Structure 1
């Protein structure tokens, strides 16, 4: 369910199943507009859903900086432009997340929130399953308590 102002933005449809598969997950997702939509929904859910309260608490008073950084990171990680690395260098994910207390609860809330966002923004099921596995592996590696 979309909780933003108005309907979901219209995004070009994914390629038909009989066409050649996209070369990267970035293309499969639909490029920057779809990744921005996913990231915005992820942070909207984090802000709105009580089930993500502990995760939300780790992010400070505003989510604007986090929205941009995750969008920039995901673009490159999914095979598109390296916006994050162009701005900040190598992501060094674990090191950059060490100041934040990340336990099993926060890990699970992050992965669940992202899965919900992927479902609500129409990420294809087979790609969603692959991304969920990668997100869980990375989120588990980020745990520091």
Structure 2
């Protein structure tokens, strides 16, 4: 007897449409936030949406397009030019929490996704200066 194939988290929660909905909802909040919006490329918002969507879908078991196009994620290095202090982290998490809530995932899937996002946000803090 063989084990049935297991679904990735990416597949289980709905694939690219779910991750793109997450990221688009997230950016709706970010655009109105005076603390974190200046860190985002207003002239390439769609590019930023696609990059974050691609990163998240790859991380969770979807296509590897992100790495094929951009190489290793190197999240800390890519965020180093920005002042990511605890306030910026908390604002990012606020908007991401609202975006995750909008997906109406199962409690387990919500907790799984949120755990990663929260850990990632804490890891991006690179200064304690205001």
Structure 1 position 58 matched with structure 2 position 39: yes
* Runs of 4+ with >4 A deviation: none
2:78 maps to which of 73, 76, 96 = 96
Higher helix fraction: Structure 1 or Structure 2? 2
**Which residue in 2 is equivalent to 1:131?**
113
Q: Which runs of 5+ in 1 are unaligned?
A: 1-19
Q: Hey, what's the Cα distance between the residues in 2 that align with 1:107 and 1:28?
A: 28
**Which residue in 2 is equivalent to 1:46?**
30
Q: Hey, what's the Cα distance between the residues in 1 that align with 2:56 and 2:90?
A: 19
- TM superposition shift of 1:94: 0.5
2:15 maps to which of 5, 23, 31 = 31
Q: Hey, what's the Cα distance between the residues in 1 that align with 2:68 and 2:41?
A: 25
Q: Hey, what's the Cα distance between the residues in 1 that align with 2:13 and 2:29?
A: 20
How many residue pairs match? The answer is 123
Q: Which runs of 5+ in 2 are unaligned?
A: none
Give the number of the structure with larger relative contact order, counting CA–CA contacts within 8 Å between residues 6 or more apart.
2
TM-score (norm 1): 0.77
